[in-house]
A and B are shown apart, each in its own frame.
Chain A
Amino acid sequence: MLSLLIQKELKNILLSPKFAATFLVCSVLILISIFIGINEYENAVRQFEANQQIAQQDIAQASSWGQVRNIAHREPTPMQIFVSGIHFDVGRLSGISSFDDVKLVRSPYSDETLFAIFRVIDFAFIVQIVLSLFAILFTYDAINGERENGTLKLAFANSVSRVNYLFAKFAGIWLGLIIPLLIPILIGLLLLLVFKVPVGADEWMSISGLIGLSVLYVTFFIGIGILVSALTRKSSLSFLLLLVIWIGSVLILPRMGVMAAGQIVPTESIAQLEAKQEAFQKARWDQYSAELSDIWRSREAEMEGMDENERRAYRDDKEWEWLEKDDVLRKKVQSDIIENNRTLMEESRNRKKVQEKLAFNIARLSPVSSFRLAAMNLAGTDIDLKNRYEQSMRIYKDDFTQFVEKKQEEDGGHGGFRISVDSESGVQLDFGRNDQTLDTSDMPRYSAPKTSLQTSIASSIPDFGLLGLFILLAFGGSFIAFLRYDMR
């Protein structure tokens, strides 16, 4: 009985013109998106590699270590083919130097604003917008359409249980939608192989997770479609209600969640943060120069009453001590500034974290948000992408500045030039050494932060769970609704 019902359901779907049209559109969309994704990814990799090389050359051509402008680049990941997430919105590179804090700048969109107008279309987007719409299209009249046709009466004139009937309906529609969906996805994965996209074991796992997630997501919309169809008498009404639900959950709720969180937890802009940092920096240096002049004044005081020769001797004697003291003071200033910068940054980031958490939790009222967030987590293009990179770049920056300091000590150079003014010997200009190239062989290299598969899966588990819960609710609801359905 069950298999008969499932077969009927499958046939009903596979033979409808609706199916042919949607299958074609889905296939075209998914394949185009993966194709475009691969293209974009390859471009990004090319650019990334070229940039690495350019950065390398720039360093090699610098005349002293002090002049080196090091740049760390964000590395493209093949997962962005499927879920671009915030990849295009976050800066691609950061300067690495002891003076400035790490900051990702030049997002792909800001460099190529043309792409920003229409934005990219990726697999996750298609699943989120188009497949959910199609799932609704296939289910809105699942129950009430059969009632209108009279086939429901005819079917239940036989000894068919309602539970069996509904279950067969689910199974049939599910198979009829999911299997055709998997075909273009598999072809898309073949494209990855054809274009030799470097996909490792971890990525394959993430991709399968993503496919599983998409199946869950579509399943939810099948469930909600059947639920609404079992709650209403007329298919025209259920269609409309479902579209409203679709617009609300796909387009509106996620955005509203973020907007609401933005209202509840205001954050400061980077410009404001930077101005604050700069203000502190300036104040600190002013304080330093005041301290320094006090020190020098006291040093002058020490020499009170000495004659010219005594003074010189005293000064020669104390020079190292004094220099070191001054240096300690200067380093203290620098570390204070860095410390303060980081505290401010940390504060700002914490507030943002609170905002994000709130925003996402509100947005999770809609399973669409769960899908999107989980997909981004799986792909590693989630909201934390920026922090992850900036943190690892900060660590690299410390390594690099240490390295440079060491190098400079070795070379005895300091980069730039030094002017010494002495009332005795006049002005001396020292432009340091002028080698043509630097030996960069032992320079520490930046490597992208690796998120392990476990962490990305772990962070997406709550959303998987939520999605599962929503599915259970939708299915449970439709069973209850159908058991009470008025067959007339």
Chain B
Amino acid sequence: MFKLIFIKELKEIIQSSRFTISFAVCSVLIILSFFMGAQNYLASQAQYEAAVQENRKQIAANTEWIMVNHSIMLPPQPLMALVNGISNDIGRNIEMSGRGELRADNTRFNDEPIFAVFRFMDLEFIFGIVLSLFAIIFAYDAINGEKVGGTLKLCFANSVSRASFIGGKLAGSFVGLSIALLIPMLIGCTLLPVLGVQLTSDEWIRLGIILASGLAYFGLFLALAIGISAMTNRPSNSFLIGLVFWIFAVLIVPRASVLISGRMIDVPNVDDITSQKNRYRTQLFEEDRPKMSSFKPEGTDPQNVMQQFSSYMRELSSKRQEKIDAFTERINEDYENKRREQEKLALNLSRVSPASVFTLASTELAGTSLKLQNRFMDSATDYQNVYGNFMQEKTGENQGGGFRMIMITTDDQEEPEYLDPNEMPRFEYKPVSASMATASSMTDLGLLILFNLLFFGGAFAAFLKYDLR
């Protein structure tokens, strides 16, 4: 019996014009978002390569390592283009220095505000907003439509149990629509290598889980719509209720939770913190002034004196830097803790809505969640050590944060030797691995499953009590 209803449901879906139209639209959208994601990735990859090239050219134009201005960039990742997350909102460039605090600048949207006007069309957007709406459109009259149409009575004039009917209905519509969505997804996936976007096996796994969670998210809205239609008598009412739920889940809850957590946990003003650091730095410098003035060189040979002065200043500077580092760490820690607390509260509140659960899961898997910023900064800090050591080796001092003295003697007219940028250690950004991403998105994946169970169960229970007349 279940099988019969299941198959009928599949057939009915496939033969309806509603399915044909929405399937066409969904397919176009999904394929388009893969296409645009790929193009977007290639474009940012080209920009990235060009910027790296410029940076190397600029290094190669130098004759002294100490003169080098090196900046590192967050390399674009294919999954970043498919699930944007916050990747367009965080700084992508860090001016490297061997010591001191690093700062990332140049967000994509700040660089190219044109993309901020309408934003990108990524998979998260397509699933989170468009497909969830389509799920409601598909299923808002699943039950009450049959009642209004009269087929419900005719079905139940036979010895059909409610359980097998609703079971067949839920399974049939979910399987039918999922398969329909899988087709454009697979086309989209094959499109990536065709367009020249190569994914590692790790990225394929993550993409696979993202798509699977997208389907689960779609299924949850489908079950919800079926559930609502099993609680109402008129399709127009169930659509309206579904729509209101959608508006709240997709548009209101996530934003409201951020707002509420912002209200509940006060995070200190970033600019205030920056200025405190600056002020501390200035203050330390002022304190060192008398020491600097009291510098007494031995001998009078300018070359020698400068060398002495330089090392004297370096020593002062590195002492200052130590203090600054300690100060920065303390003040940052407090700020970061508050901020993390606020984030945690906001995300937990927002998890009431399946839409934000999906957003969190997919961005986590794509490596574009809030953690992206930390990961980039961590990679940069790791690199900072390597870079500092390299500079130490090349120039005899670890620059950054403090005093930098450059001596150019113009007397010897040897042809200057230009630097080889290949000597510079390369910055490696460590993207999330599939296992890490899965581990950290476990909660949200679990919640997605829970929501599914809840809504499928709810639809099931609602139908058991449904008035069939």
Contact = CB atoms under 8 A, between A and B. Distances in A.
A85 to B, nearest CB: 8
Interface string B158-183: 00000000000000000000000000
Contacts of A55: 275
Contacts of A256: 32, 36, 121
Contacts of A363: 118
Nearest to A125: B251
Interface stretch (B210-218, B255-263, B449-457): B255-263
B107 interface: yes
A271 B106 contact: yes
Contacts of A236: 18
Interface stretch (A103-111, A191-199, A205-213, A301-309): A103-111
A417 B359 CA distance: 54
Contacts of A85: 117
B95 to A, nearest CB: 9
Contact of A247 (B115, B130, B261): B130
A171 interface: no
Contacts of A90: 109-110, 113, 116
A274 B71 CA distance: 10
A369 B51 contact: no
Given A109-B89, A421-B305, A263 B292 contact: no
A240 B24 CA distance: 12
Interface in A303-352: 352
Interface string B275-319: 100110010001001001101010010100110010000000000
A111 B262 CA distance: 14
Nearest to B346: A114
Nearest to B308: A427
A356 B120 CA distance: 15
Contact of A110 (B29, B48, B107): B107
B54 A279 contact: yes
A257 B89 contact: no
Contacts of B18: 236, 240
Interface centre among A114, A121, A421 (most CB of B within 10 A): A114
Contact of A89 (B109, B272, B305, B342): B109
A258 B237 contact: no
A355 interface: yes
A267 B47 CA distance: 8
A335 B50 CA distance: 27
A110 B113 contact: no
Nearest to B301: A423
Contact of B275 (A36, A58, A276, A373): A58
Contact of B93 (A115, A137, A271, A352): A271
Interface stretch (A46-54, A182-190, A471-479): A46-54
B107 A427 contact: no
B442 interface: no
A431 B293 contact: yes
A359 B114 contact: yes
B343 A109 contact: no
Contacts of A54: 271-272, 275
Contact of B272 (A50, A355, A429): A50
B112 A259 contact: no
Nearest to A293: B410
B25 interface: yes
Interface centre among B269, B356, B411 (most CB of A within 10 A): B269
A130 B295 contact: no
A270 B261 CA distance: 34
User: Chain B: interface secondary structure?
Assistant: helix
Interface stretch (A60-68, A392-400, A401-409, A451-459): A60-68
B114 A356 contact: yes
A257 B350 contact: no
Contacts of B36: 255-256, 259
Interface stretch (A2-10, A17-25, A223-231, A462-470): A17-25
A116 B129 CA distance: 16
Residues of A contacting B: mostly:
helix
A237 B252 CA distance: 30
B114 A258 contact: yes
A152 B51 CA distance: 66
B275 A118 contact: no
A58 B278 contact: yes
Given A118-B255, A118-B350, A271-B73, A67 B282 contact: yes
Contacts of A296: 410
A252 B32 contact: yes
A426 interface: yes
Interface string B81-119: 000011001111100000000001111011111111111
A423 B302 contact: yes
Contact of B359 (A22, A118, A376, A422): A118
Contacts of B29: 247, 252
B464 interface: no
Interface stretch (B55-63, B320-328, B392-400, B421-429): B55-63
A290 to B, nearest CB: 8
A113 B292 contact: no
A473 B165 CA distance: 47
Interface in A397-444: 417, 419, 421-423, 426-427, 429, 431, 434
A13 interface: no
A142 to B, nearest CB: 14
Interface string A94-124: 0000000000111101110111111111000
B120 to A, nearest CB: 7
A32 interface: yes
Contacts of A268: 47, 50
B157 interface: no
A36 to B, nearest CB: 6
A434 B290 CA distance: 11
A163 interface: no
Interface in A248-274: 248, 251-252, 254-259, 261-263, 266-272, 274
Contact of B91 (A86, A110, A114, A422): A110
B116 A89 contact: yes
Contacts of B359: 117-118
B240 interface: yes
A109 B408 contact: no
A269 B116 CA distance: 15
Contacts of A290: 410
A114 B343 contact: yes
Given A118-B350, A266-B46, A272-B51, A383 B118 contact: no
Contacts of B1: none
Given A118-B359, A251-B130, A258-B118, 6 more contacts: A58-B275, A106-B270, A262-B40, A270-B106, A386-B113, A429-B292
17 contacts: A39-B259, A54-B272, A54-B275, A89-B113, A109-B89, A113-B86, A114-B339, A115-B258, A116-B86, A117-B359, A258-B114, A259-B36, A272-B54, A278-B58, A373-B117, A429-B295, A434-B286
Interface of A: 17-18, 21-22, 25, 29, 32, 36, 39, 47, 50-51, 54-55, 57-58, 61-63, 67, 69, 85-86, 89-91, 93, 104-107, 109-111, 113-121, 129-130, 133, 137, 236-237, 240-241, 243-244, 247-248, 251-252, 254-259, 261-263, 266-272, 274-276, 278-279, 282-283, 286, 289-290, 292-293, 296, 352, 355-356, 359, 363, 369, 372-373, 376, 383, 385-386, 417, 419, 421-423, 426-427, 429, 431, 434
